[in-house]
Chain A
Amino acid sequence: MRNFLGLCPMSRFRILATLGGLFCLLLLFTFMLYRSVVNLSGEYIDNRTVSIDIQNFSEYPTKYFGVVSRYPAHIIYQQYQPLMDYLNRNTDYHFQLKLSNSYSETVQQLASGEVDVALLGSYMYATSKDEHDLIAILKPLNEDSLALRRSVLFTSKNSIIHKTDDLRGKKLALASKESFSGNWMPLHMLRLNGITRDDLEDISNYPNHHTVIHKVLRGEYDAGAVRESVARDFMDRGLRIFEYSDPLPTSPIVVTKQQDPDMVAAIINALVHQDPARTDKAGPIDIMDGGTVVSYIETDGSEYNFIRRVTNE
């Protein structure tokens, strides 16, 4: 009897049994696959997953490192915490950042002992060192291994201003009055060109160097003055520098004269006498408004006397 695909009953039974068995296996496999696919339980670790070692500093004395916080706190920490980590690894002290709203506040914190060491602006150091017995112990070196920076006068790319003299009758934006490179030095440059405040239509100060640049690029001001390193970041966004200052000393690391000499020595030792073979160096540190710091050099503070002279003009 042949009635199913021309097969005899025996062959038909064998084929149906085989197909049935295969179908059952397939069903079981599909079910198990479904269970496996929809079961999302598990831990997912990829290359982006980061981990850090938490150091225990409870046995070390805590020292506070003062910095000015003109930006959100986490941005300031991103800039300066690597320096703290380096000092923590290479000294017997536990350094913690202490934020302040201004250099003046940082100076007060130094004077009161609230902070033990601070990164001060060169103007604030030069004008406060005598009053609060401050001493500069280190100054940062830039990518050219120079402890120098410059102020620049800039305008927008399409501006008619091409030299300092063109600023007459124009509006000028400056950085904070506590900033030597963003305020005092540009004013000094104007004076050197025979331009006084009265020769300008308007002159205003803003707390951050970046704010100054934005004001000029948006056309609110005809020109501005900031630190060269900051201005360079905006060269491809329509900024044009038309005047450079003479080199200026970089912002120093400052302590009070009463500070523990061992701690001061430890900081100098860690930052100046770096072992070239070490991979965890103190730099480069991209300091907002301050350019890139690659290393440090000791200073006796004498180069900052120039700043004092300029500010007294």
Chain B
Amino acid sequence: MSLKIKIIFYVGLIIAFLMMIISIAFLYQFRSVILEKEISNARSVSSAAAIPILDAFIFSEQDFYDPSQILERHISYFMANVNGMKFMHVYNRGNKLTASTHWDPATPLQARPPEFRVTNTVRESVSIHRHDEYGWVIEIEYPLFIAGKYLGTTVMGFDGNPVRKEIRSLFIGLLILNIVVTTITLYVLYKLISKLTRSLGQLTDAIDQFDLKTPEKKLPLPDSDDEIGHLGKRFGLLQQRLIESKHNLAESQRNIYRAEKLAFIGRLSSGVAHEINNSVNGIQSCMYAINKDPKNHEQTEEYMKLISEGLQHIEIIVKKLLEYSRKNSPSLVNVNIAEIVENVLKLCSYKIQKLGITITFKPDTDLPGIKADKYLIQEVLMNLLINSMDAVSDGGCICIKAGRKNRQSIYLSVEDDGPGIAPEFTDLIFEPFFTTKDTGKGTGLGLSVVQGVVESHDGTIRLDSQPGVKTVFTITLPINGKHERTIN
């Protein structure tokens, strides 16, 4: 739910609730005032009407005359002159109906209900009820007494329908006011929130569109003089800082690359020097011994053989360096990986048997052919296999797997149960002349060459090693081999 909806919903709910509470309070207050006013009017009329009735009853008590006739006159007078009076009954102190606007012809003198005199207390009472004939009626029962002398009771009914109509109008008026005020408030709120969220949306769009690759592109930012405007300005500053950081980062990367390259050249030179120097030293020693005793043909023959081996070692080093650094593109042909694996296993079968290593090869049934340089892939597999054979002890196991990784590529993995590679070496393992083998057993160029070949095929190589458990080299190669790249 958006911020706009949330704010409108909750604020609207609170405003509507508060308006409702206030309106109800007003409604009941005004209702009470209206009713009090009407009841007060009715009371005033009742007390005014009571005076002649009291006199009539007093004179009746003094035996001056029968009150009925004069009471009827009083009633007629009040009915004619008081607006809204609906009925009037006068009861004497014995609660017998003495005069009324509604004589019942069958029982001309009605007695009041017996419950009226359950106690000897009379009191003024006002009630509002719905009358069958007149609708809503305000009925006042007004006891006629002076000091402690009770003379009778008048019951007067006043039209209550206008009061009800007034209260109904008040209700409808307040309801309309409520709706109008709430609607206007919500509309104003909606407009305000829209303006607010428009600025926020503008800022969000600017953040989305910001790209360090095109930092010169001008982005529209909210420029209002409020919190969101300030936020927009801060984002502009952040943009500038990011651009500066990018430049700094690029500069740093260049420096690192330069330093790394120099370090690499140093390591490469030292590796070359070390490997070649060993052979050269050996050759020099042999030459020294031959020169010292040239007539010792047996020694000369033996040392010449050693010199030849030393020269061969130097040749191998140079050859591999050339392979590592050559810039020829691989020549891509259709290659069957399973076939390449079988060929390599045949080539290494003597060593495998000699070392007593168990090698399994499990090509997936859906392993497709790929476009690659057959000989380079063969060399890659050979290097990985030799490394694994060197790593495993007698009776060790090597497992070669190949299969389809996804629609575009295949994988080829070589897994051995050798001692594994320590974590601190995993970053160095592909560097030229880095080796964990004993001196003289490896040149330290195998994995560098492997990495170069794989990358020239637009593939990847990954090392997963758990020291003491296993080591897995996994190569992925594109099926179509279309990303042809020179070996760098």
Contact = CB atoms under 8 A, between A and B. Distances in A.
B432 interface: no
A45 B35 CA distance: 12
Nearest to A83: B147
Q: What's the interface size class on B, roughly?
A: 35 or more
B5 A15 contact: yes
Contacts of B54: 73-74, 77
B147 to A, nearest CB: 4
Contacts of A37: 27-28, 31, 167-168, 171
Interface in A61-84: 72-74, 77-78, 81-82, 84
A132 B167 CA distance: 68
B167 A88 contact: no
Contact of B147 (A26, A45, A81, A96): A81
Nearest to B23: A33
Contacts of B55: 72-74
B264 interface: no
A80 B442 CA distance: 142
A43 B129 CA distance: 9
A153 B9 CA distance: 85
Contacts of B129: 41
B2 A53 contact: no
Contact of A88 (B31, B148, B175): B148
Interface stretch (A3-11, A206-214, A244-252): A3-11
A54 B121 contact: yes
A289 to B, nearest CB: 19
B127 A49 contact: no
Contacts of A312: none
Contacts of A33: 24, 27, 171
A101 B145 CA distance: 22
Interface in B339-397: none
B5 A38 contact: no
Interface in B115-160: 120-130, 136, 143, 145-150, 160
A175 B127 CA distance: 48
A44 B1 contact: no
A51 interface: yes
Nearest to B59: A73
A26 B195 CA distance: 30
Nearest to B42: A44
Given A40-B128, A50-B124, A81 B149 contact: yes
B123 A50 contact: yes
A11 B4 CA distance: 13
Contact of A11 (B1, B126, B148): B1
A96 B124 CA distance: 24
Contacts of A84: 147-149
Contacts of B5: 5, 7, 11, 15
Nearest to B30: A37
Given A73-B58, A82-B147, A43 B126 contact: yes
A98 B62 contact: yes
A265 B363 CA distance: 142
B39 interface: yes
A85 B43 contact: no
B120 A54 contact: yes
A78 B1 contact: no
Given A38-B167, A74-B54, A51 B123 contact: yes
A40 B167 contact: yes
A74 B51 contact: yes
B159 to A, nearest CB: 12
A52 interface: yes
A136 interface: no
Contacts of A49: 123-126
B485 interface: no
Given A7-B5, A74-B58, A85 B149 contact: yes
Nearest to A18: B9
Contacts of B160: 40
Interface in A264-280: none
Given A11-B1, A15-B5, A85-B149, A48 B43 contact: yes
A26 B2 CA distance: 25
Interface string A97-122: 01100000000000000000000000
B2 A5 contact: yes
Contacts of B62: 73, 98-99
A79 to B, nearest CB: 9
A7 B147 contact: no
Nearest to B149: A81
A46 B35 CA distance: 12
Nearest to B129: A41
Contacts of B145: 52
Interface in B1-21: 1-2, 4-5, 9, 13, 16
B163 interface: yes
A30 interface: yes
User: Would you list the 4 A-B pairs with minimal beta carbon distance, nearest first?
Assistant: A51-B123, A85-B148, A81-B147, A73-B58
8 contacts: A6-B2, A6-B4, A33-B24, A45-B125, A49-B123, A52-B121, A55-B148, A81-B146
Interface of B: 1-2, 4-5, 9, 13, 16, 24, 27-28, 31, 35-36, 39, 43, 51, 54-55, 58-59, 61-62, 120-130, 136, 143, 145-150, 160, 163-164, 167-168, 171, 175
